Amino acid sequence: MRKNKMLVAFACCVFAFLFLPLFIIAVTAFGGESAITFPIQSFSLKWFANIFTSGSFISSFKTSFQIALFATLLALLVGIPAAYALARYTIKGKNMIQSFFLSPTIIPGIVLGFALYRFIVLVMRMPVFYGLLLGHFLAVLPYIIRVVGSSLSQFDFSIEEAAWSLGCGKVSAFFKVVIPNITSGIMAAFMLAFINSFNNIPVSMFLTGPGVSTFPTNLMNYIEYNYDPTVSAVSVLLMAGTIIIMFVVEKTLGIASLAK
């Protein structure tokens, strides 16, 4: 095979562009100075300690984790049957319903956030936590429908009919035969929705309120007033967490299942 030197150099540049900032952040997390500097002058782990002592990071992490988990589970509960109905039956206006379900991924997040703010906070006056939960549920639902739907579109529904013919009722056949064959799709949808909710800023920004903030919004607020390496330390921990999750996914399902 002929090696194209230009291509190799170009690929190296792209990787450098992608990874150098991450590398610099990771290094600055271990600096002893009170402001982010690179290269670091002295070594210290105090910024890591700072994360756990400051409290707001821990509580907002908890909030974000709960919101992401519950919103995703709720969205799975609603999204799987919706995706099933869309894949299984020929419904009038099927294409329209499909694009309607996907619209939140196309509409700018800030617009969605503002719309939810008007509705959830101003009109319904929901408690902050439940408002956030509802907002995130709506924001991640399209991902679930999309990913589960694409995995259902490859499912041979005569398998389900075979189960019926063998004496299986419709609901029971759905759990015994359909679900086990789309688990990788459901897992992928779960990961995608969870990460999206966990990272979400535009929706959270509008829906957080006194005493309740999500992890990303908390991080943003922190940076506004402090320029110390705590943020870098947080980033390092998040990256480590992501790497561990990806490793587990790769070992159990294979990364490719997320890209399907």
Alpha-helical segments (H) within 32-55: 46-54
Q: Which helix (H) or strand (E) holds 79?
A: helix 56-88
Q: Which listed residue (170, 210, 224, 251) binds another protein by CB under 8 A?
A: 170
CB 117 to another protein: min, Å: 43
CB closer to another protein out of 138 and 163: 163
Rounded distance between C-alpha atoms, residue 207 and residue 134, angstroms: 10
CB 28 to another protein: min, Å: 48
Measured CA to CA in angstroms, residue 116 lies from 111, 123, 131, 175, 202 at distances of 9, 10, 9, 34, 11
Q: How many residues bind another protein (CB under 8 A)?
A: 17
Q: Which listed residue (39, 93, 167, 210) binds another protein by CB under 8 A?
A: 167
Which residues are within 8 A (CB) of 198 and not within 5 positions of it... i.e. 6 or more apart?
Answer: 64, 65, 68, 215, 216
Q: Is 81 in the site for another protein (CB under 8 A)?
A: no
Q: Which listed residue (132, 144, 148, 163) binds another protein by CB under 8 A?
A: 163
Q: Is 39 in the site for another protein (CB under 8 A)?
A: no
For 35, phi and psi rounded to 5 degrees?
-125, 160
CB 142 to another protein: min, Å: 27
Which of 93, 85, 103, 99 shows the shortest CA–CA distance to 149?
A: 85
Q: Is 175 in the site for another protein (CB under 8 A)?
A: no
Which tokens in the block code for residue 201? 């800023």
Q: Is 42 in the site for another protein (CB under 8 A)?
A: no
Half-sphere exposure of 179 (CA within 13 A, CB side): 11
Q: Which listed residue (3, 93, 156, 210) binds another protein by CB under 8 A?
A: 156
Please report, as ranges, the residues that interact with another protein according to CB under 8 A: 156, 158-159, 161-170, 173, 177, 180-181
